[in-house]
């Protein structure tokens, strides 16, 4: 019965029937962290049930002299077991320099590892609905990848095995054969081509390119889901404007002196529009969207939950913010900027403060804001940093005022 349930759940997730066009687009999410810290556990506990599946990274394999090097994620299975949401397991496999022989030691190792991961999850009271393999396979070796895939399928059967595919594979007849062997796949519609210099145009996900890729994938006819980004790349360039490195999961603070930084962010409004399009007009084989990655409160290079939650709920995230004045003591007022919308604030902001019948004694801006203008009855706090960001749902103190009398302060927020 377990085998039948697994296959039934996966087919339901893929939603490959034409009648699904009238249904909302199903949403899933990745949990990609290796360390399940308290904030990661809290995010899974609070938000995983908003998705029809949570796909959890269990291990990453890299290769050194064609020998496997395994990094295991320290998954908190007790937290995961309490989530009322189907769970998929993810095995990430880096590029392999040898021949992809079906009966070689590399694939034997991967098949055994896949079986061990499934057993580990079940021992942790998590009954997986699929195993995802995210393998950096050269396009020239897609036929050979079929052999690797079949070896893993045999080892974990009847657990369904899903592969991750790149849009560039879609034109290859070898991929059609690989997709048929897999019976389902995930189309990764987000990536970053290494920029040549700081002025080169680049994007994480071009909605039009993603839309065309989904149409092309739909013509193949094998059930698939599409992976979309929620994260930000911090891209570093040297003083001459040449690429030197990037960070995608945590801010890097040790860039050399003279480094120039650009941020490339997933655009929630553009991706929301894309999802809205697919909700009513999509190939019958497109079974849903899987987001990389689940928001975690301390993940500063990712959307906050209000942003992704709005899209999952079927609406475009909205921008909304205001300023608050808090009386700390007689004559002393603290000014805060409150983001009570569903989008991060990244604009330049001015907060105008006004009062009557009191004289300003002192004041200052905080966290990138400065008191740009002031007189006896008004002051303006202004942010001149183009990199300023106030995540959705957060509040930040931006300045203070001290007057010679206790008076109510009126605030107005403007973008400029």
Tell me whether residue 242 is in a domain.
Answer: no
Tell me whether residue 25 is in a domain.
Answer: yes
- Residue 299 and residue 401 share a domain: no
pLDDT for residue 20? 42
Counting residues of the chain whose pLDDT is more than 70, the rounded percentage is: 93
Q: Which helix (H) or strand (E) holds 2?
A: helix 2-14
- Residue 327 and residue 301 share a domain: no
pLDDT for residue 247? 79
Domain around 342: 321-415
Three-state DSSP state, 86: coil
Tokens standing for 240?
């001459």
- Residue 394 and residue 304 share a domain: no
pLDDT for residue 11? 45
- Residue 325 and residue 308 share a domain: no
- The 10s digit of each residue's pLDDT in 2-44 is 544 454 445 444 443 433 445 789 999 999 999 999 999 999 9
- According to DSSP H, which parts of 100-163 are helical? 105-123, 142-156
Domain end among 252, 284, 312: 312
State the pTM of this model. Answer: 0.88
User: Per residue of the chain (416 residues), what is the pLDDT tens digit?
Assistant: 454 445 444 544 444 343 344 578 999 999 999 999 999 999 999 999 999 999 999 999 999 988 999 999 999 999 999 998 999 999 999 999 887 876 689 999 999 999 999 999 999 999 999 999 999 999 999 999 999 999 999 999 999 999 999 999 999 999 999 999 999 999 999 987 778 788 888 788 999 999 999 999 999 999 999 999 999 988 888 888 888 888 777 656 678 888 888 888 899 999 999 999 999 999 999 999 999 999 999 998 999 999 999 999 999 999 999 999 999 999 999 999 999 999 999 888 999 999 999 999 999 999 999 998 888 899 999 997 777 889 999 999 999 999 999 999 999 999 88
pLDDT for residue 4? 44
CATH number of the domain at 340, please: 2.60.40.710
Contacts 24+ apart (CB under 8 A), 245-253: 246/192, 247/301, 248/301, 249/32, 249/299, 249/301, 250/300, 250/301, 251/300, 251/301
Domain end among 283, 312, 341: 312
Tokens standing for 181?
């062997």
- Residue 225 and residue 152 share a domain: yes
Answer for the pair 97, 141: CB distance below 8 angstroms, yes or no.
no
- Residue 334 and residue 219 share a domain: no
Tokens standing for 308?
């992704």
Tell me whether residue 259 is in a domain.
Answer: no
Tell me whether residue 261 is in a domain.
Answer: no
Q: DSSP secondary structure string, 337-401?
A: EEE-SSS-B-S-EEEEEE-SS--EEEEEE-TTEEEEEE-SSEEEEEE--TT--B-TT-EEEEEEE
- Residue 352 and residue 219 share a domain: no
> What percent of the residues of the chain are helix, what percent strand, and what percent coil, each to the nearest 5?
30, 35, 40
Q: Are strands 27-31 and 53-64 parallel, antiparallel or unpaired?
A: parallel
CATH number of the domain at 183, please: 3.20.20.80
Domain end among 312, 343, 377: 312
pLDDT for residue 1? 46
Tell me whether residue 343 is in a domain.
Answer: yes
- The 10s digit of each residue's pLDDT in 339-354 is 999 999 988 899 999 9
Answer for the pair 77, 125: CB distance below 8 angstroms, yes or no.
yes
- The 10s digit of each residue's pLDDT in 73-115 is 999 999 999 998 999 999 999 999 887 876 689 999 999 999 9
- Residue 295 and residue 150 share a domain: yes
**Burial, 84: exposed, middle or buried (Cβ in 10 Å; 0-12, 13-18, 19+)?**
exposed
- Residue 122 and residue 85 share a domain: yes
pLDDT for residue 22? 53
pLDDT for residue 12? 47
pLDDT for residue 373? 84
Q: Are strands 161-165 and 185-188 parallel, antiparallel or unpaired?
A: parallel
- Residue 378 and residue 356 share a domain: yes
- Residue 398 and residue 306 share a domain: no
Q: Are strands 67-72 and 53-64 parallel, antiparallel or unpaired?
A: antiparallel
CB half-sphere exposure, 369, CA atoms < 13 A: 27
- Residue 329 and residue 219 share a domain: no
What does the alpha-carbon distance between residue 176 and residue 182 come to, in Å, rounded to a whole number? 10
Give me the number of domains the chain comprises.
2
* Phi, psi of 156, deg, nearest 5: -105, 0
Tell me whether residue 251 is in a domain.
Answer: no
Tell me whether residue 256 is in a domain.
Answer: no
pLDDT for residue 250? 64
Tell me whether residue 409 is in a domain.
Answer: yes
């Amino acid at each position: 019965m377990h085998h039948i349930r697994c296959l039934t759940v996966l087919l339901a997730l893929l939603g490959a029937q034409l009648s699904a066009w009238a249904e909302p687009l199903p949403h899933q999410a990745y949990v990609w962290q290796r360390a399940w810290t308290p904030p990661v556990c809290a995010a899974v506990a609070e938000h995983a049930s908003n998705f029809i599946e949570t796909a959890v990274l269990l291990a990453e394999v890299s290769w050194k002299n064609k020998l496997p090097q395994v990094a295991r994620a320290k998954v908190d299975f007790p937290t995961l077991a309490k989530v009322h949401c189907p769970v998929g397991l993810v095995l990430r496999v880096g590029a392999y320099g040898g021949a992809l022989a079906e009966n070689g030691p590399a694939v034997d190792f991967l098949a055994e590892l896949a079986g061990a991961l499934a057993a580990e999850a079940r021992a942790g009271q998590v009954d997986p609905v699929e195993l995802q393999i995210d393998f950096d396979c050269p396009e020239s070796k897609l036929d050979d990848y079929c052999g690797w895939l079949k070896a893993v399928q045999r080892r974990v059967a009847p657990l369904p095995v899903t592969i991750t595919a790149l849009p560039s594979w879609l034109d290859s007849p070898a991929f059609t054969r690989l997709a048929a062997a897999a019976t389902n796949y995930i189309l990764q519609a987000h990536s970053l081509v290494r920029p040549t210099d700081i002025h080169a145009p680049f994007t994480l996900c071009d909605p039009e390119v993603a839309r065309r890729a989904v149409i092309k994938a739909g013509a193949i006819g094998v059930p698939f889901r599409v992976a979309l980004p929620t994260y930000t790349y911090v891209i570093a360039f040297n003083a001459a404007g040449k690429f030197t490195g990037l960070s995608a999961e945590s801010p890097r603070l040790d860039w050399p002196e003279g480094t120039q930084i650009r941020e490339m962010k997933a655009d929630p409004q553009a991706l929301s529009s894309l999802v809205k399009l697919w909700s009513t007009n999509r190939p019958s084989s497109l079974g849903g969207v899987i987001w990389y990655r689940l928001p975690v409160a301390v993940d500063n290079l990712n959307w906050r939950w209000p942003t992704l939650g709005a899209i999952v709920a079927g609406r475009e995230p909205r921008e909304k913010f205001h300023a608050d004045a808090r009386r700390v003591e007689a004559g002393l007022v603290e000014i805060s900027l409150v983001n009570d919308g569903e989008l991060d604030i990244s604009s330049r902001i001015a907060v105008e403060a006004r009062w009557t019948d009191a004289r300003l004694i002192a004041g200052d801006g905080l966290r990138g804001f400065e008191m740009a203008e002031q007189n006896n009855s008004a002051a303006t706090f202004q942010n001149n940093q183009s990199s300023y960001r106030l995540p959705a749902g957060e509040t930040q103190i931006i300045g203070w005022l001290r007057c010679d009398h206790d008076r109510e302060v009126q605030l107005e927020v403007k973008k400029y």
